[in-house]
Chain A
Amino acid sequence: MSRRQRRLALIGSALAVLAAAAALVLTALRDSIVFFHPPTEIVEKAIAPGSRLRVGGLVKEGSLVRGEGRSVRFVVTDTKTDLPVSYAGILPDLFREGQGVVAEGVLQADHSFRADSVLAKHDEKYMPREVADALKKQGLWQHNGADAAPSTQ
């Protein structure tokens, strides 16, 4: 092969791999990204039931109900709008009423939410960033010394 052909072969194969990678990334992005919404946005933007999404907010005080087996129900609130959530499984260690939570799952036709995973924050100082932002939007965020913590009273 001449120098020119070799160079073309190299560049051609590099482009082919890149194109394949780009195609993979684009299809995967289309199929597998999940949007995050606080409860108010779900109502305001009229998110269609059946879509897969993440919701986040505070677990409403007194809303946790344990049902049959390991099924639980609780209400996620951004204090303006409440969203009932059902979940079957073991809740994370730091799941508590009045604290921040993010749930991923599917919005049901009756405007409840069926979660298949529930994430709580990682330590007692820390709040999922999405939740903190959503609460800030509602004007409920209070800075309290060095540790930013939302007011839950």
Chain B
Amino acid sequence: MIAEAGHFALLLALALAIVQSCVGLWAGRSRDAALIAMTRSAALGVCAFVVAAFAALTRAYVISDFSVRNVAENSNSVMPLIYKVSGVWGNHEGSVLLWVLVLAAFAASVALRGRDLPDVLRSNVLAVQGMIAALFLAFILATSNPFSRIDPAPFEGADLNPLLQDLGLAIHPPLLYLGYVGCSIAFSFAVAALIDGRIDAVWAKHVRPWTLAAWIFLTLGIAMGSYWAYYELGWGGFWFWDPVENASLMPWLAATALLHSAVVMEKREALKIWTVLLAIVAFSLSLIGTFLVRSGVLTSVHAFAVDPARGVFILGILVVTIGGSLTLFAWRAPMLKHGGLFAPVSREGALVFNNLFLAAACAAVFIGTLYPLALEALTGAKISVGPPFFNMTVIPLMAPLIIAMPLGQNLAWKRGDLLGAAQRVQLSFAVAVAAAAIIAAATWGGPVLAPIAIGGGVWLIVGSFSEIGARVSRGAPSALASRLIGLPRSAFGTAVAHAGVGVTVIGLAATAWHVERIATMRSGDMIDVGAYRLRLDSITPRTGANYREDAARFTILKDSAEVGSVVSAKRIYPIRQMPTTEAGLWTHGIGQVYVSLGEIETDGSVAVRVYDKPLVLLIWLGAVVMAIGGALSLSDRRRRVGAPRPARAPPAMAPAE
């Protein structure tokens, strides 16, 4: 009964979403107060009904109601509760429902957000959000109903794919969806501006926090997905340039570019049309990502069930949304008032540089991801574009950004002084060169490019703070602390986020020193990997809630002293007869020793894959630092439009938030 109520709630949400979009458009034209209020209520109503539907499905999972087909196919009564709950979105239907839930929640927060958002803009934004929500709700109801029943109901469910029975599933998809769908707000703002024919710095001021929030979630979601793949798939890699990973990287690159171009628009009213285009592109890439992942055109762990009707429907949504918005763009963009031009050597110029390279990298990833699909559709030839392609294209396009980032931060608006900026980053440059030289000397005869890349990372970390350093060190040294506190929080946000890129770069560069060893081992055998020696102590069978496993315990030795131990296991989930490898991770500082098992032979020997991965955690910690930078910037008071201007109060009176 509750499942049917959930189904009905989705229908009501669809009807209300249509109301929201029609009334919103009308309100945007007529500026009628009642219609404006109605649009807001409709957005809240859609959100309430989608929440109700999601709650109904979650309940079915928690109580293991196997008369609901979706639950029977993807859950099991013996599964731990956390996986029952995260299993709600560990399948096609549920994950689309989560997508819509996030979309509706974002629309509701636009509806609720303070009085400072102009009513016309808000109505148009909500109208566009309503359209997207209506399309996806129609998709769920037409092709992916999560509430359909089976009769008779089975006694036991078919279990969740064991690869997904992990804490990662509880975190990664919601974060990623918050990022993907967060891009829809920027998209709706862009389309609203095109509908209204008006775009100005206030627009940019409103778009930035949403884009920033989406970007933070996307950054964390991608990093989380990468770490999950790293420990769950058991081959020690963290990024495979899999099309599905690229599907999340492309919106990230576009959103990063959008963040930077919106700054130019907010400060200088330039790059208007480009910013609108980027906002459209960022969300379009999120949609394409959803299409690639959900339609089953790709071979991937993310492709749950393959059903051509769904692919066609999503393709339809894609054509309507992307085609429609781009057509609107082509029609209306020339009518927008052009912004000013500016000198090439200036902060704006540097941000354009950033946009050019990010857009080019995004295009390269796009081509590499979609070329095989296009070629197959056109000629029938099946090809795969692997990591070499992406390494050859993306790395050279990222390198100029790494070099330019601290310089650009030090350029002034309007007319920059390249020489002055270079002088300010002299010290950072010297530190970076010294770091590269020390690393190169310490690892002489090893990888050549890695020390240079580490120098690049150090350059970013130190150089990102050079602007703050320069701003603070002007004037009397006694007032240094108060000047530091007086700096806007967004200045720290920028510095921290850029430093985060540097941290990730160091982590990536250090992969050059990763050591891999593969050996067949028996109890008591030793294996040397990097600076460590591992001893296989025992292989013991164990039983978990819904699996059996053979757990191999290793002792880790360094200079013949025991420093730790690690357990790696080969699991079998009997319900699906599916084996998985549980990698053993031993973390020392920011490095890890990674152990994964191959097949255990009847004679008790086992193939073991061992890695020594120094500095590996920096790859993901860098993303966390980037997100912290974004959050700092988001918390800047000036970002809250309409909030009272920050008082230049003495430090003791500074708000403690």
Known A93-B579, A122-B300: A70·B607 in contact at CB below 8 Å:
yes
Q: In the complex, what residues of B have CB within 8 A of residue A35's CB?
A: 381-383
Q: In the complex, what residues of B have CB within 8 A of residue A69's CB?
A: 520
A54 contacts B518, C-beta separation under 8 Å: no
Q: How many CB-defined contacts (below 8 Å) exist between A and B?
A: 120
CB distance from B72 to the nearest CB of A (A): 12
Q: Is A49 an interface residue (CB 8 A)?
A: no
Interface bits A84-109 vs B (CB < 8 Å: 1, else 0) = 00000111011000000000100000
10 contacts between A and B (CB under 8 A): A6-B341, A10-B352, A13-B353, A24-B396, A28-B393, A31-B388, A34-B383, A34-B385, A35-B383, A94-B579
A18 vs B596: C-alpha distance in the bound complex, in angstroms? 43
Interface bits B512-530 vs A (CB < 8 Å: 1, else 0) = 0000001010000000000
A7 contacts B341, C-beta separation under 8 Å: yes
Interface residues on B, range: 35 or more
A13 contacts B341, C-beta separation under 8 Å: no
B344 contacts A33, C-beta separation under 8 Å: no
Q: Is A17 an interface residue (CB 8 A)?
A: yes
Within 8 A of A (CB), among B314-372: 341-344, 352-353, 356-357, 360-361, 363-364, 367-368, 371-372
Q: Is A129 an interface residue (CB 8 A)?
A: yes
A122 vs B364: C-alpha distance in the bound complex, in angstroms? 27
Of chain A, the residue at the smallest CB distance from B400 is: A17
* Other-chain contact of B301, A17, A37, A122 (Cβ < 8 Å): A122
Q: Number of A residues contacting the other chain (C-beta, 8 Å)?
A: 43
Interface bits A111-128 vs B (CB < 8 Å: 1, else 0) = 000000000001111101
CB distance from A131 to the nearest CB of B (A): 9
Q: In the complex, what residues of B have CB within 8 A of residue A17's CB?
A: 356-357, 360
B299 contacts A128, C-beta separation under 8 Å: yes
Q: Is B397 an interface residue (CB 8 A)?
A: yes
Of chain A, the residue at the smallest CB distance from B360 is: A21
Q: In the complex, what residues of A have CB within 8 A of residue B356's CB?
A: 13-14, 17-18
Of chain B, the residue at the smallest CB distance from A37 is: B382
Of chain A, the residue at the smallest CB distance from B596 is: A90
Of chain A, the residue at the smallest CB distance from B579 is: A93
A33 contacts B599, C-beta separation under 8 Å: no
Q: Is A46 an interface residue (CB 8 A)?
A: no
A123 vs B385: C-alpha distance in the bound complex, in angstroms? 23
CB distance from B360 to the nearest CB of A (A): 4
Q: Is A32 an interface residue (CB 8 A)?
A: yes
Q: Is A3 an interface residue (CB 8 A)?
A: yes
CB distance from B376 to the nearest CB of A (A): 9
CB distance from A143 to the nearest CB of B (A): 12
Q: Is A47 an interface residue (CB 8 A)?
A: no
A18 vs B356: C-alpha distance in the bound complex, in angstroms? 8
* Other-chain contact of A123, B386, B576, B581 (Cβ < 8 Å): B576
> Which of B299, B520, B598, B609 is the most central at the interface, judged by chain A CB atoms within 10 Å of its CB?
B299
Q: Is A65 an interface residue (CB 8 A)?
A: no
CB distance from B148 to the nearest CB of A (A): 12
Interface bits A4-29 vs B (CB < 8 Å: 1, else 0) = 00110110011001101100110111
Interface bits B242-277 vs A (CB < 8 Å: 1, else 0) = 000000000000000000000000000000000000
B393 contacts A123, C-beta separation under 8 Å: no
B299 contacts A32, C-beta separation under 8 Å: no
A96 vs B305: C-alpha distance in the bound complex, in angstroms? 21
Q: Is B433 an interface residue (CB 8 A)?
A: no
Q: In the complex, what residues of B have CB within 8 A of residue A3's CB?
A: 341
A93 vs B596: C-alpha distance in the bound complex, in angstroms? 11
Which 10 residue pairs across A and B have the least CB separation, nearest first?
Answer: A36-B382, A21-B360, A90-B598, A32-B388, A28-B392, A32-B389, A122-B301, A17-B356, A28-B389, A93-B579
